[in-house]
Structure 1
């Protein structure tokens, strides 16, 4: 059954539209369609006396401004422009047939200009850039690596430590520092990618188990700084 809105520039027409839009966001439901554009072309901004129609008008206006910035003041049907600010002098019926194939020549705002194409491309590039995964943070860590006793080969100990390789882990400078009773510990720097390397897991599952445990008695985190 066809739904008819006529005299949309009058209170009776707006009242009919307001009643029809009760409980709806757009003419056809929750999606903006050509039906909304057609009606919008013949409606001036409804007053608060027609809350449903006013809410619908604002929703359509917002969508048009988003899609076609700077050109949302009118639409054209088969090349004939109609202003959203000036309603026609004579009553104009608008027929909305549910399920009808309404693919007549509907030129919303004319051909897209070069400026609009450039703006669209810029928006698309911004979306792609923002959708890229941000690079994970990095940290600088100083470890104390302690041997079993003063007879531990510290060169072998360092080789064992540096033999551990994994994505996101980069070993840095090292030095020996006295502990006491002739025992020295090794202090070594490393840079890690936070999302890829867990220092606790590195110590518990790599540095203090075989084969590294042959030389390493324990490891302690001396400093942990975000880069």
Structure 2
């Protein structure tokens, strides 16, 4: 199966290389080869700590190249498509020689592999669009009086289920005259749950209003 790398200047491209190097020291075989040099040239700089396998491999190749090319670097600029098109003429290389420098290391990518890659990218893009922020909410739920069954009050509150709502820890807090309030945590997906609607349409209407007099938001923090 062909092994190809693309967009090595992005985290997505580096993630592919990170996985590939998980059980390898070099790109091809057990020693440095031209394949390593090709891939090394496509990685702009040593990756961050989020890519330990790539970083290890990058240091290994850099140390070998530094010994072979001890001259001090002054920096180069790589142009866009126009400069790339002019490169063969400037260097004397033929189009075939330029093709040999592609990062398709073990043969051309098949149509099936291209389609599979497109499907993965589409799925990733769709997943990112669906991602939504979350918030942590601390809420006080107050009973009608000191005779309200607080156990049933909490059961009524936790019985409310909706997409993006997750109930957390709770405790009873004295407020005076023998009355206690329920203080409860919840995590919500912002795009799916409106706290105002939760209170007005679920917590203070039947069947919860048999036990719940009112609700107050104590803290609201983005996660």
TM-score, length of structure 1 as denominator length: 0.49
Between Structure 1 and Structure 2, the one with more helix by share is: 2
